[in-house]
Amino acid sequence: MSTDWNEFESDLTVGREALFAKFHNGSPRILRAGQLLAASARPDDVLYRLRAGWAYRFRDLADGSRAIVDVCLPGDIMGFDNALHKRRIENVRTLTTSAVEVVAEERGLRGILESRSVALYISWLLGERQQRADRLLAAISCLDARGRVAAMVLEFYQRLEAQKLITAASFNLPLTQYHIASYLGVTVVHVNRVIRALREAGIVNIEMHCVTILNLPALVDLAKIELGIAIAAAGR
């Protein structure tokens, strides 16, 4: 089992390096804050990688409301829905000024997937995205508003730390309270109350687009269910 896992990790590393080499072939495109990713799209574009900046995937509902279904951080790869299902990428919008690297391929995703190691790495990325979606669904289904905010903060903290983008228990959070409400399925008024309550309890401070974790064990305890990412963060 150990040998199989080592071989799997080795294949993932090879695939990651090969795919990233494709991203590095061209100059990054600069998108302004609030811009749709589709605004910079070209016919041969297949996948996009956030070199810098934050973005989010969303769905607009029939009643005019918007649900944010995923938040993309620096290093994340986007465009899978477009490449796999021929959907337009209008549902990805930047939160900040962003630098985006692009893989262009005349044959689309098929040309990229000819490499077994790259195909394996892309499958792993899709699995990671599905796990994020599962954790978000679990949080919305099982936790109160305080628990949902705690799970969100821990999720971003762990992902940024894994990318070595932070070295302390604080990070910039470009989401507004409206974005947080759309992501966690609560009202903006409720988000405001929860943020104030968490600050007064000395657990986490979210202010002026900056998050500072004041009490990590207490923040993890608020999540109450094993979101995986929260458990990993608690052991640090």
| Among candidate residues 132, 124, 122, 154, the one with its CA nearest the CA of residue 219 | 154
228 vs 125: which has the higher pLDDT: 125
What is the pLDDT at residue 39? 85
Question: Tens digit of pLDDT for each residue in 59-108?
Answer: 998 998 999 999 999 999 998 876 665 555 568 999 999 999 999 877 76
Average pLDDT of the residues in 166-192: 96
The residues, ordered by sequence, that sit 6+ positions from 194 with a Cβ below 8 Å of its Cβ are 145, 146, 149, 186
Rounded to whole angstroms, how far apart are CA atoms 125 and 214?
Answer: 31
Residue 149 scores a pLDDT above 60: yes
Alpha-carbon span 5 to 7, nearest angstrom? 5
Residue 161 pLDDT > 50? yes
Nearest Cα residue to 92 out of 29, 155, 45, 40:
40
What pTM did the predictor assign?
0.87
Residues 133, 137, 140, 146, CA torsion sign: negative
Of the pLDDT bands very low, low, confident and very high (cuts 50, 70, 90), residue 225 is low
What domains appear along the chain, each with residue ranges and CATH number?
A: 2-126 (2.60.120.10), 143-234 (1.10.10.10)
* Contact predicate 211/170, CB 8 Å: yes
